[in-house]
Amino acid sequence: MAEKAGLCRICGKIGKHTCKLCGRFVCDDDYDSSAKMCTVCKRGRKVKS
């Protein structure tokens, strides 16, 4: 399995994950693995509740 190479769209660190909601490529710090989404989308979802 080949990993994508690139930088996090939020902070600029090495990215490892893609948000399932917006498609942003993000690092471990800006990704919530339980929700499979970036912290920006997760914060946006929490505002609605």
> pLDDT digit of tens for each residue in the chain (49 aa)?
345 579 999 999 999 999 999 999 999 999 999 999 999 999 986 544 4
Cα-only R_g, the chain: 11
Q: What is residue 46's predicted lDDT score, i.e. its pLDDT? A: 59
Number of domains composing the chain: 1
Letter string b/e over residues 8-45, b meaning 16 or more CB atoms within 10 A of that residue's CB:
bbbeeeebbbbbeeeebbbbeebbeeeeebbbbbbeee
Q: Is the full-model pTM beyond 0.85?
A: no
Domain that holds residue 18: 1-49
